[in-house]
Structure 1
Amino acid sequence: MNEIYINEVVKIVELCSIINIPIIDFIKKLFFKGIIIKKHDFLNFEFTKKICKEIFNIEVKKKHIKETVLQQGTDLTNNVFISITGNVNNGKTSFIEFVTKKKILDNELGHITQTVLTYNIEFCNKNLFFFDLPGHQLFNEVIKICIYHSDIIIYIISIDEDIDYKKINELVNISKNRNSILIICLNKCDKKKINNKYNFKNQFFISAKTGFNIKKVIKKVILLFNTLKKKIDFTLPGVGIIINQINKEINISTLFIYKGIVKTGFYLCFKNQNVYIDNLYFNNKKVDCVISPAIFEIKETILPIDIFFEIKKEVFSIENKIEIKKNLNKKINFYLMVYSHSIACSIYNYYCNLKFDNINILKILIGLPKENDFNYCKNFNCMLILIGFNKNINKNVFKEFNTVFEFTEFINKNYKCNLEEIIIGKLIIKNIFPHSKNNKIAGCKVIFGKINILNKIKIYNNTKILFEGYITTIKKKDIFIKEVFLNEDCGIQIKNFNNYEIGNIIISYILKNVKNI
């Protein structure tokens, strides 16, 4: 009897390759045993062991994963994680270009960083990992998370611009709370005469363009990191964040594990789904296990548009999309396909913080559109938009944008987004009257402003919002009216709401355009 070794969970495609049987033959043999499977399904160890013994006369044994990546030649205690942050065009990417001797900006559309990228160099027996972070406020959520999990924060300020002391104080507080170290680099000193008005702790005057003082900064990074005495954390479950995900010819995801370990055969558990890990790459080498803290890659596995994950042993579905809204009655439906995970997260946060009443983003996906994406847009009357790719990819695309900023400006300008709530009036429910078998009328009094039947309303119980919607009828002395004014009594009915309580407050409001972000 032949023997094979597999992980706790195995793909059918991988199993067929190991036992050297065509996939179609494998599926047929199980079908005749009353078992229906598909080629992309996963099988657990016990089930695989049983069917291989009964049908193929093969003994299946569990693969014992080596617990270490230290054999790869990297001492993980020497891994230093450095966030390079600052405002747009202050020299963050130029700083990394000088350190890594790589041309980075030429590959960024609009010559603006829109994607969190990682770069690695060895210096003074340390493995330095740089997070090149975007500078625009649309990426604030992603920026804060990367900074929060870094050992060293390098904040780059252009001496041509005013100093944001509020931002510096925020970074100082993060470094204190997270046992990390803040270094402030005052850039572009080759263009302007240096004066003595700056007095920050761990301060350097640099020129990212010429490389002036950058080597001194890196040496200071090493010295300060040695004072932190960072230790390897083997605690389970492991915890980490997605750094980036790009889908070109294949999907490549870059992840950072800052606690515990991750192995093939484990699962990345996100907020709404879990993803099976069938491959790991560390320092461009395929491995079975990665020990924190470390940056690693997963290939040909689509991750959700999320940031945090835990590492567990669970089984769930795999997707690469956010389905944000399913209300197809909106006037305009958008279907977005973006270049990277960072762009997807920034758009999602932007969309969730908008106040609007006439647009609907149905999906955000990473990668270029395929035939099924065009069919979806056609069937559900969606406008397909590409963000972060080269222009003129496909004539069926409604709009293409080089940068996420171009997209948000387009939305703000053309679709009355970024609206502000203006309260027009308030009602208090004084009585509740039965109206029909399933409906009630709320007897109300206007305590502020006026109420118009066309305006939107929110119903509050103390500070908790119970419902948002519209008034269907307003009655005053058995007469249907459209408006009711301060201190007047009326009876109202609200569309799709019937759970009135005495004392509830009803706020009537309109949405008004404010200045774009």
Structure 2
Amino acid sequence: MARSQRTRQRRGSRHRNGSSERPSPRREPVKFAGPVDLPAEISVAELSEVIRRSPIEIIKELMRLNMMVAMNDSIDFEVAATISVRLGVRVRKPVDMEESEASDRVGVDEDEGEKQPRPAVVAVMGHVDHGKTTLLDAIRGTNVVDGEAGGITQSIGAYQIDHEGQLITFIDTPGHEAFTAMRARGAQATDIAVIVVAADDGVMPQTVEAISHAKAAQVPMVIAVNKIDVTGADPVRVTTELLEHDVIVEDLGGDVLSVPVSALKGDGVSDLIDSLLLLSEVSEFSADPEREAIGVVVESTLDKQRGPVATVIVRSGTVNVGDTIVAGDRYGHVRRMVDGFGKEVASAGPSVPVEILGLNGVPESGQQFEVVEDEKVARQRIDTRTRQEQRRHDATRPSTLAEVLRHRQSYEAAELNLVTKTGAQGTIDAIRRAVDGLSSPDVQVKLLHAATGPVSESDVMLASASDAMIVGFETSVEPAASRLANQEGVPIKTYDIIYTMIDDVKQAARQLTEPEQEEVTIGRATVLQIFPHGRRERIAGVRVTSGLMRRNARMIVSRRGEELFEGAVSSMRHFDENVREIATNYEGGIVLDGFHDYEEGDIITCYELRAVAVR
């Protein structure tokens, strides 16, 4: 303190004694150089190179503007222009890059390079449980269906196979209706759509949905009539039902190929591939492998060990390890590439699906990726896309009286706020679509935040401040987040099957307007053994100690008096038989949706919600 006072005194002394202070030199008029082009955003180090001024000079000028900025920090055009002018350099803001450079049209090869034939990219679509994943298993000789929660494909995967010396790429799209948006993006990224229809089930709502997406994407269809070997199979019924949706197969004089198959036995699979290759040959798909690569992000995840991972399909050009790429609003250098069978590759040409590592974040599924010259161009490209997206967003603001009244009504309704974390980027849109359909005149369901990765402390803080519940889909909860949630009273629910999650959110929304309910315990069981089941799930082998365990009721898992989980039942068995309930002193197996960390001795309490009688 004394030292600072003495310093001020010495400075004041010098100011008063004019003889001790050097007269300030006369400032020469600034001679302007330039003009130079500046992007919408630029780092201090890059600005130094462009205007040929010392970084220290730039940082000093920024400090005069009360901006504390480091060498590698970015500043926008307005700030960079102000600094440049102060340092005697005229600047010019370049016209935004053409719309085509940041286009939302996925995988369009407009270059007039030398085109060469490329393999077809095929999307496999259809109704849930009609055998899409099993069909792909038969095609590529592996089995992934056992690892899927509930036997339902929950994310998009892409693979390329070699059939008698000819390559063909497949995209396996989810079949549950909540994944409509993901399936639509899958169709946009493809050349041919295979619509799988079970011969014993016929055309179902999601079959119609898949047909609509294929038509909207203007891609040719091939109908795979699956399960022709099961009892009750009726392929003629399938072709007749397809007529109702303007799909006319060749046998009835139309132009849509139809192939009967048994994915389980492998019958007809080779014929299906031959039909696809024939259609590919007739369509003459081509691309220029020498141009800078463009393509589609099929799926993206945040891997704990590897960081952001994007599954992409190259539509044209060739992407190499070391290239700088832009994917949506993310960019980075390609650090590593892995094909659909886990083999590391150095380059990927047209129609090749690969996992790419090296991005600075998780891009959204369905967005275009492209190879650019360097990081500077990548940031410019992202900035242009961001402004275009903002303009589109502004254009969709309420503009009619009906829209304004609808927004006002939403504020008057009760609100259920949600914070959502998922294991894959592509499922966010699916969840958002499902949540949007849950609102009613009485209850407004709002998705406050949705992102990939485990549930974190920041998610809990957001939920606590917003009086929200947290739902996690195919993801985990960080221990610190779990402790904070207990302290703050924030409910966290995790799920492996999306329709269970949707049912629980529906129930929570109903509780906001329905009469008060109370939990009524109807049974308890003790965990005796734990058995593995599929990729993620575990079966709790239990003995019922009191009451009943009912499949359609709710369960609470407790350990040494501490409640670990509350949720729904995925399946309940007594020996090999699916059952609706297990009585006292009987044993059985229980699978809970979203909980798999059982220990022997855990207590599972079964309860129901019942309305409180009004007195």
Question: Shorter-chain TM-score: which interval?
Answer: 0.5 to 0.7
Matching residue of 2:501: 407
Instruction: Assess if the C-alpha contact under 8 Å between 1:305 and 1:345 holds in 2.
Output: no
Matched, 1:383 2:469: yes
More strand per residue: 1
Q: Tell me the distance in 2 between the aligned counterparts of 1:154 and 1:360.
A: 36
**TM-score (norm: length of structure 1):** 0.57
Aligned residues between the structures: 362
Change (3 A) 1:40 1:136: farther
Change (3 A) 1:196 1:135: closer
Change (3 A) 1:287 1:31: farther
Change (3 A) 1:415 1:305: farther
Q: Tell me the distance in 1 between the aligned counterparts of 2:330 and 2:422.
A: 21
Change (3 A) 1:33 1:265: farther
Aligned with residue 172 of structure 2, among 132, 137, 141: 132
Q: Tell me the distance in 1 between the aligned counterparts of 2:230 and 2:455.
A: 45
Matched, 1:248 2:288: no
**1:273-318 per-position Cα deviation (integer Å, ceiling 9, x unaligned):** x322311655544657x55444333325323445333646326589
Matching residue of 2:368: 309
Matching residue of 1:455: none
Q: Shift of residue 96 of structure 1?
A: 1.1
Q: Tell me the distance in 2 between the aligned counterparts of 1:110 and 1:124.
A: 34
Q: Shift of residue 167 of structure 1?
A: 5.0
Give secondary structure in 2 for the equivalent of 1:197.
helix
Give secondary structure in 2 for the equivalent of 1:221.
helix
Q: Tell me the distance in 2 between the aligned counterparts of 1:128 and 1:384.
A: 41
Give secondary structure in 1 for the equivalent of 2:361.
coil
Q: CA RMSD in A?
A: 4.8
Amino acid at match of 1:346: A
Instruction: Assess if the C-alpha contact under 8 Å between 2:418 and 2:469 holds in 1.
Output: yes
Instruction: Assess if the C-alpha contact under 8 Å between 2:309 and 2:356 holds in 1.
Output: yes
Aligned with residue 349 of structure 1, among 412, 433, 436: 433
Matching residue of 1:97: 137
Amino acid at match of 2:147: N
Instruction: Assess if the C-alpha contact under 8 Å between 2:435 and 2:446 holds in 1.
Output: no
Change (3 A) 1:373 1:286: farther
Amino acid at match of 1:251: P
Instruction: Assess if the C-alpha contact under 8 Å between 1:282 and 1:295 holds in 2.
Output: no
91-100 or 236-245: which moved more? 236-245
**1:136-191 per-position Cα deviation (integer Å, ceiling 9, x unaligned):** 2211122122123322221111112132599569738946973x432211111221
Amino acid at match of 1:85: M
Q: Shift of residue 88 of structure 1?
A: 0.6
Change (3 A) 1:306 1:89: closer
Change (3 A) 1:333 1:196: closer
Amino acid at match of 1:255: V
Aligned with residue 190 of structure 2, among 134, 150, 154: 150
Q: Tell me the distance in 2 between the aligned counterparts of 1:276 and 1:228.
A: 33
Matching residue of 1:37: 70
254-263 or 213-222: which moved more? 254-263
Instruction: Assess if the C-alpha contact under 8 Å between 1:119 and 1:130 holds in 2.
Output: yes
Matched, 1:207 2:291: no
Amino acid at match of 2:117: T
Amino acid at match of 2:203: I
**1:430-464 per-position Cα deviation (integer Å, ceiling 9, x unaligned):** xxxxxxxxxxxxxxxxxxxxxxxxxxxxxxxxxxx
Instruction: Assess if the C-alpha contact under 8 Å between 1:122 and 1:128 holds in 2.
Output: yes
Instruction: Assess if the C-alpha contact under 8 Å between 2:120 and 2:285 holds in 1.
Output: no
144-153 or 234-243: which moved more? 234-243
Amino acid at match of 2:310: S
Correspondence 1:389-468 to 2 at 5 A: 389=475, 395=482, 396=485, 398-416=492-510
Instruction: Assess if the C-alpha contact under 8 Å between 1:76 and 1:293 holds in 2.
Output: no
Instruction: Assess if the C-alpha contact under 8 Å between 2:299 and 2:426 holds in 1.
Output: yes
Matching residue of 2:160: 120
Amino acid at match of 2:509: Y
Q: Tell me the distance in 2 between the aligned counterparts of 1:169 and 1:337.
A: 27
Change (3 A) 1:187 1:287: same
Aligned with residue 298 of structure 1, among 344, 356, 360: 356
Change (3 A) 1:367 1:94: same
Matching residue of 1:360: 446
Correspondence 1:31-70 to 2 at 5 A: 36-37=69-70
Instruction: Assess if the C-alpha contact under 8 Å between 2:126 and 2:175 holds in 1.
Output: yes
Unaligned runs of 5+ in 1: 1-11, 13-26, 43-74, 320-324, 420-517
**1:242-263 per-position Cα deviation (integer Å, ceiling 9, x unaligned):** 2111223122111234356667
Q: Tell me the distance in 2 between the aligned counterparts of 1:210 and 1:415.
A: 45
Amino acid at match of 2:164: C
Change (3 A) 1:265 1:305: closer
Amino acid at match of 1:139: F
| Identical columns (%) | 14
Instruction: Assess if the C-alpha contact under 8 Å between 1:185 and 1:204 holds in 2.
Output: yes
Instruction: Assess if the C-alpha contact under 8 Å between 2:300 and 2:309 holds in 1.
Output: yes
Give secondary structure in 2 for the equivalent of 1:278.
strand
Give secondary structure in 2 for the equivalent of 1:227.
helix
303-312 or 346-355: which moved more? 303-312
Matching residue of 1:188: 227
Unaligned runs of 5+ in 2: 1-42, 44-54, 63-67, 76-114, 240-248, 251-256, 387-406, 486-490, 514-615
Q: Shift of residue 240 of structure 1?
A: 3.9
Instruction: Assess if the C-alpha contact under 8 Å between 1:207 and 1:213 holds in 2.
Output: yes
Q: Tell me the distance in 2 between the aligned counterparts of 1:280 and 1:85.
A: 32
Q: Shift of residue 370 of structure 1?
A: 3.2
Q: Shift of residue 234 of structure 1?
A: 7.3
Matched, 1:86 2:180: no
Q: Tell me the distance in 1 between the aligned counterparts of 2:352 and 2:116.
A: 7
Give secondary structure in 1 for the equivalent of 2:287.
coil
| Greater Rg by CA | 2
Amino acid at match of 2:505: I
Matching residue of 2:422: 338
Q: Shift of residue 91 of structure 1?
A: 0.5
Give secondary structure in 1 for the equivalent of 2:271.
helix
Give secondary structure in 2 for the equivalent of 1:160.
coil
Amino acid at match of 1:298: I
390-399 or 250-259: which moved more? 390-399
Change (3 A) 1:360 1:265: same
Instruction: Assess if the C-alpha contact under 8 Å between 1:280 and 1:286 holds in 2.
Output: no
Give secondary structure in 1 for the equivalent of 2:122.
strand
Q: Tell me the distance in 1 between the aligned counterparts of 2:213 and 2:122.
A: 17
Instruction: Assess if the C-alpha contact under 8 Å between 2:421 and 2:450 holds in 1.
Output: yes
Q: Tell me the distance in 2 between the aligned counterparts of 1:353 and 1:215.
A: 41
Correspondence 1:263-274 to 2 at 5 A: 264-269=323-328, 274=329
Q: Tell me the distance in 1 between the aligned counterparts of 2:311 and 2:465.
A: 34
